[in-house]
A and B are shown apart, each in its own frame.
Chain A
Amino acid sequence: MTLPPILAALRKHKSGVVLITLQIALTLAIVCNAVFIIGQRVATVQRPTGMDEQNLFLIQQQIVNAPTGNDAASLERRYAMLRSDLMTLRGLPDVASAAPVRSLPLLQSSNNGGVGLQPNQDHSTATTTFYGGDEDLLKTLGVRLVAGRNFTASEITHDDRGGDWQPPVAIVTRALADQLFPAGDALGKTVYFNGGAVPTTIIGIVARLQTPNVGWGSDYNWNSTLLPTFPNDTYTRTAVRAKPGQLDAAMRDARQALVAANPQRVIRNGFAGFIGIYPYSDIRARAYRADIGMALLMGVICLVLLCVTGAGIVGLTSFWVGQRRRQIGIRRALGATRTDILRYFQAENLLIAGMGVALGAALAVGLNLWLMQQFAMDRMSLLYVLAGVVALLALGQGAVLAPALRASRVSPVEATRSV
């Protein structure tokens, strides 16, 4: 099979060739970027939070008859009510442990701030999210402590609605510890939160704990700080770990027991998911809904694109086969085998698709650069382009097969027939 006859034939269909080349190029450019978006979203969704998510559920409620003030009496009264709820939960047969929480990974409700190495530091050294809880927090979330110790019961404070911003001790994630102290000796060191002057000692380091943020604050996704503060508010969150396999039963019992203990609470699921009892899997699904949706949409668009382009190649090649029956007949009469005819159309397609993917690869990179500039998207690895090139060449060959086979079956006798 030589190139010149193919080129000569293609010159007769310049516009058709240009159109199909353009179509393949555009398809490649869009599919590469769409698949890249899918890849990124899937990677985002699959990140582990650092918690043991199985058997974990979250209770979010508003205690209606709790005092709202911040005077000592109100604080104590409210704390007593919250403690009593916690005791109720801890006493349930299917509950392994329970802890008050200010937020949870992926919950999209966060309290963030800066961490500095000096008192009254102007620009903080690192940004972090703050989680508050009691001594059962680590156990309940299933977060792995890799150095130091957990909070003791005597370290837990409960005297402020907004949370104690600068407690004497804190536990941080490995990621935050390493950012603050690159030498790896964070344990026992002193830090200052939010540009303040009150020293806090790092008493423990946990392997990993994601922030509640989804879609923003991605530069500090793993910078979490756990503070020994019992969130003392009428709107409260409690993380509960059910005994293995008892999640449903524990959730049902928890609701019944809480309502029985004090019906003056808002606990029915609602308020955009910020009130009620939800398994952690629901919180994860809600957080990543948009990412999964975007991946799905891009997937559908890729599928339609590839189908359209494949069908387009089939259509155009069929037309060319129909148009060239006589020439095919002549070639057959002059001794070309069926395989020769088949190879001819396959080579022709490879040539056109080759031009298309060459142009398309450049377009794909250009489109990615534009998306990076417009939407702060990441740089696409060239592997995506390479995979796209292979896929489109394969699509072209697949699409051309049927018309090419039909061409190969043209009988030499056609050469003698006029149109």
Chain B
Amino acid sequence: MFGYYLDLALRSLKRNKALTALMVLTVGFGVAASMTTWSVFRAVSGDPIPQKSARLFVPQIDNWGPTGHEPGSNSTEPPSAMSYTDAVALMRAHRAKYQSAMYQIADSVAPKAANQSLTLIAGEAVGSEFFPMLDVPFAYGGGWSGAEDANRAQVAVISSQLNGMLFGGADSVGRMLTFGHHDYRVVGVTDDWHPHPVFYDVVNTGGFTPLAADIFLPFDTAIANDANINGSTNCNQPPAESGFKGLQKSECVWISFMVQLDDAAAVRDYHQFLVNYSLEQQRAGRFNWPPEVRLRGLMAWLAERHVVPSDTKVSLYVAVGLLLVCLVNVMGLLLAKFMRRSGEIGVRRALGASRGEIYLQFLVEAGMVGLAGGVLGLALTWLGIAGVGWVMPPEIAALAHMDVSLLATTLIVAIVATMLAGLYPTLRASAVQPAWQLKSN
């Protein structure tokens, strides 16, 4: 029976080619617009570390007090980054399972060949626990130890890209490189690790940055070596002393912080620890305001920092609106097409076809339009993804890609949406009274 319906649907669709083409085009464009913007949206809004995001937290401490907020603002939100004083205190206290202070660095790196021109690379100064906390995969070697943190060891973990550039992609553990004015021994090479968004330091990267971190240095080593801050620095007051040393003594905030807390009790304890720390600072006279701390989970933190660009969301909503209009359009066209065949329906009903069979027949026809629209939509989505670089920032556009899941989603969305649009017209068609149609003929 299904084969017969397919045949009927094909005949019907062929009979009015312009109308069929219009419906297929409408579904195709609607689906392609939504799927293209969806591909971008899912790339930027996904969980960057699904196996662990529920256990990662970002602490915030208000070291600026009420006067540090915008005039007239009711917000009590502490600064999004940390001062050196607080970051070091939290690292020393070591109250979480894993913790790391982080700041963005950038400097020149010495190339392998003398005739190669010098390049600048960006990186991150982090604690040794950064690597186990974030499940950083290694191609060679691994992170450094807590002892190396304490000794301010001249060690570095580099990205596979930098390893390719400096050492031709070979196992470079133990080799030396020059970053800025200092030499570092490579202890690990990461294995293609490009989290999107750059969740560990959204304060400095905004989440999406054209500058991938190519080098990781021990935090205290970077501080000791005066490694340039590449990220943003925010101050409520100018530092009393100039230079990097002055910055470290100031209340300026420029350090990101992340901790791993494995259960609810640990989260509670850590929150209490932050409050107690702030109270201590208050007693010591550094803060003259009551504790104001935050301890957000990673996903809540990303939402708070508005990591998903609002343009991406607006585009998605507008494209879904377009799909909706397309479906209303298809619904109207299907209705017109089906009702025009009232006579045919009357004859089929009179010859013994049940309402259910008529229903199925027309749903198959709607489904075929959906399938054709889906195939067209797939081609257009592919084009859309290729062209998304024209309309979105490159670091975001680069994340959109066609994969099996998007391919399946596109087809399913097209077919399901068209069948949904076909439900009402089909219902109307199956409700045609045979006697009425036969009489009028």
- What is the bound-complex CA distance between A408 and B210, given in angstroms? 61
Query: What are the residues of chain A within 8 A of B247 when measuring CB–CB?
Result: 162
Chain A CB within 10 A, most for which of B22, B239, B325: B325
User: Is A316's CB under 8 angstroms from B108's CB?
Assistant: no
- What is the bound-complex CA distance between A268 and B324, given in angstroms? 48
Interface hit among B46-54, B116-124, B163-171: B116-124
- Of the candidates B119, B336, B391, the one whose C-beta lies within 8 Å of that of A315 is B336
User: Is A298's CB under 8 angstroms from B318's CB?
Assistant: yes
User: Is A123's CB under 8 angstroms from B67's CB?
Assistant: yes
User: Is B332's CB under 8 angstroms from A312's CB?
Assistant: yes
Chain B proximity mask over A262-285: 1 for CB below 8 Å, otherwise 0: 001110101111110000000000
Query: What are the residues of chain A within 8 A of B238 when measuring CB–CB?
Result: 113, 165-166, 193-196
Query: What are the residues of chain A within 8 A of B19 when measuring CB–CB?
Result: 315, 319
Interface hit among A23-31, A238-246, A343-351, A390-398: A23-31
* Beta-carbon nearest neighbor of B122 in chain A: A271
B residues 164-197 near A (Cβ < 8 Å) are 180-181
Interface hit among A86-94, A137-145, A300-308: A300-308
CB of A389 within 8 Å of the partner chain: no
* B232 smallest CB distance to A (angstroms): 9
Query: What are the residues of chain A within 8 A of B314 when measuring CB–CB?
Result: 37, 294, 371, 375
Chain B proximity mask over A312-348: 1 for CB below 8 Å, otherwise 0: 1001100110110000000000000000000000000
- What is the bound-complex CA distance between A20 and B226, given in angstroms? 67
* Beta-carbon nearest neighbor of A109 in chain B: B232
Query: What are the residues of chain B within 8 A of A376 when measuring CB–CB?
Result: 310
Query: What are the residues of chain A within 8 A of B226 when measuring CB–CB?
Result: 68-69
CB of A309 within 8 Å of the partner chain: yes
User: Is B237's CB under 8 angstroms from A195's CB?
Assistant: yes
CB of B441 within 8 Å of the partner chain: yes
Chain B CB within 10 A, most for which of A265, A266, A308: A308
* Beta-carbon nearest neighbor of A418 in chain B: B441
User: Is B332's CB under 8 angstroms from A16's CB?
Assistant: yes
- Of the candidates A272, A275, A309, A320, the one whose C-beta lies within 8 Å of that of B209 is A272
* B319 smallest CB distance to A (angstroms): 7
CB of A7 within 8 Å of the partner chain: no
* A375 smallest CB distance to B (angstroms): 5
User: Is A64's CB under 8 angstroms from B108's CB?
Assistant: yes
User: Given A16-B336, A265-B118, A294-B391, are A305 and B325 neighbors across the interface (CB < 8 Å)?
Assistant: yes
CB of A22 within 8 Å of the partner chain: yes
User: Is B22's CB under 8 angstroms from A315's CB?
Assistant: yes
- What is the bound-complex CA distance between A377 and B388, given in angstroms? 23
CB of A58 within 8 Å of the partner chain: no
- What is the bound-complex CA distance between A180 and B270, given in angstroms? 44
B residues 314-348 near A (Cβ < 8 Å) are 314-315, 318-319, 321-322, 324-326, 328-329, 331-333, 335-337, 340, 343
CB of A260 within 8 Å of the partner chain: no
CB of A289 within 8 Å of the partner chain: yes
User: Is A308's CB under 8 angstroms from B210's CB?
Assistant: no
Chain A proximity mask over B215-253: 1 for CB below 8 Å, otherwise 0: 000000000001010000001111100111111000000
Chain B CB within 10 A, most for which of A27, A294, A315: A315
User: Is B328's CB under 8 angstroms from A22's CB?
Assistant: yes
* A139 smallest CB distance to B (angstroms): 28
Query: What are the residues of chain A within 8 A of B67 when measuring CB–CB?
Result: 122-123
CB of A249 within 8 Å of the partner chain: no
* B218 smallest CB distance to A (angstroms): 18
Chain A proximity mask over B66-97: 1 for CB below 8 Å, otherwise 0: 01001100000000000000000000000000
User: Given A15-B335, A26-B328, are A62 and B391 neighbors across the interface (CB < 8 Å)?
Assistant: no
- What is the bound-complex CA distance between A315 and B245, given in angstroms? 73
User: Is A34's CB under 8 angstroms from B318's CB?
Assistant: yes
Query: What are the residues of chain B within 8 A of A374 when measuring CB–CB?
Result: 310, 313
* Beta-carbon nearest neighbor of A299 in chain B: B391
- Of the candidates A26, A27, A64, A272, the one whose C-beta lies within 8 Å of that of B118 is A64
- Of the candidates A122, A266, A316, the one whose C-beta lies within 8 Å of that of B120 is A266
CB of A19 within 8 Å of the partner chain: yes
User: Is A266's CB under 8 angstroms from B33's CB?
Assistant: no
Query: What are the residues of chain B within 8 A of A319 when measuring CB–CB?
Result: 19, 336-337, 340
CB of B428 within 8 Å of the partner chain: yes
Query: What are the residues of chain A within 8 A of B236 when measuring CB–CB?
Result: 195
User: Is A68's CB under 8 angstroms from B313's CB?
Assistant: no
* Beta-carbon nearest neighbor of B211 in chain A: A272
User: Given A16-B335, A122-B67, A298-B318, are A23 and B329 neighbors across the interface (CB < 8 Å)?
Assistant: yes
A residues 22-72 near B (Cβ < 8 Å) are 22-23, 26-27, 29-30, 33-34, 37, 62, 64, 68-70
* A119 smallest CB distance to B (angstroms): 12
User: Given A16-B335, A312-B329, are A305 and B322 neighbors across the interface (CB < 8 Å)?
Assistant: yes
User: Is A15's CB under 8 angstroms from B428's CB?
Assistant: yes
- What is the bound-complex CA distance between A274 and B106, given in angstroms? 11
User: Is A311's CB under 8 angstroms from B26's CB?
Assistant: yes
* B394 smallest CB distance to A (angstroms): 8
The contact sample of 18 A-B pairs, CB cut-off 8 A, is A16-B336, A30-B322, A62-B120, A165-B238, A266-B118, A268-B118, A270-B119, A271-B119, A271-B211, A289-B394, A290-B311, A293-B390, A294-B314, A308-B29, A311-B22, A311-B26, A315-B19, A319-B19
Q: Chain B residues in contact with chain A, CB under 8 A?
A: 19, 22, 25-26, 29-30, 33, 67, 70-71, 106-108, 117-122, 180-181, 209-211, 226, 228, 235-239, 242-247, 309-311, 313-315, 318-319, 321-322, 324-326, 328-329, 331-333, 335-337, 340, 343, 390-394, 424, 428, 440-441
Question: 3 smallest A-B Cβ distances: which pairs?
Answer: A293-B391, A272-B210, A123-B71
